[in-house]
Amino acid sequence: MATAVQKLSRRLKVKREGMDLLRQALTHKSFLGEGGGLACNERLEFLGDSVLGLIVSEHLFSRFTESQEGELAKAKAVAVSEPILAEAARKSGIAEALFISPGEESSGGRNRPSILSDTFEAVVAAVYIINGFESARDFVLKSLRHILQDIESDEHHRNYKSLFQELSQSIYKKAPRYLVVNETGAAHDRTFVIEALLGGETLGVGEGKSKKQAEQAAAFEALRHPMFAQHKPGK
């Protein structure tokens, strides 16, 4: 564990005087009962969420000068979603450095997307406090490089359906399905209306010029449903 934290600190350029704050960022609340005298990372997560949001919003705003608020919001929702941040935590070495209780460890907590995404945000906050905004920005943009590249090439839309699929199965152990509820227009200019359902309940409705487009729109709306609100799909 100590080695993993040291590796992460070197990667983040955190010096000795900032190590206590980095360890706090890596401390899940379950670990507090295990001793060590550390505070958990929930306060840092709160700050990190805002710092992360600003960095991603600024990046999208500057890169997509013709995009309207709605499209920017949808792109941001994908970039800061729970599975994306959890994967960034794994690739950056945060998962290995995480302090969690043995009980949480045995139940799969070290690989749980909600814990990893929260810890990623806490680490962003720690880097921001210790080394400043530019260092935090560099860390975030490098960590989210692949999804941001997908957004630039307009490939990120596929993530709405995959994100909805991942969250539905990991949280509710159910797979979503899609239902065409309306088709209008001539054969060469059809418009589809599709519902995204989970366990028989309609969570989102989308419209598009193809079934694929309508399904993506429905999945995005489903991710904004209160059932998923606490899992950060639509910030």
List the catalytic residue out of 45, 49, 195, 215: 49
Distance CA 212, CA 198 (A): 18
Among candidates 197, 195, 191, which has minimal Cα distance to 217? 195
**Catalytic one of 104, 121, 195, 221:** 121
Distance CA 132, CA 117 (A): 21
Cβ neighbours, 10 Å, residue 172:
13
Gap between the terminal Cα atoms of the chain: 32
SS (H, E, C) 80-98: CCHHHHHHHHHHHCHHHHC
Q: What are phi and psi of 173, to 5 degrees?
A: 55, 35
SS3 state at 203: strand
Cα separation, 119 vs 232, in Å, equals: 13
- Catalytic (active site) residue 121: yes
93, 11 Cβ separation under 8 angstroms = yes
**Tokens in use for 129?**
């406090």
Catalytic residue positions, numbered: 49, 121
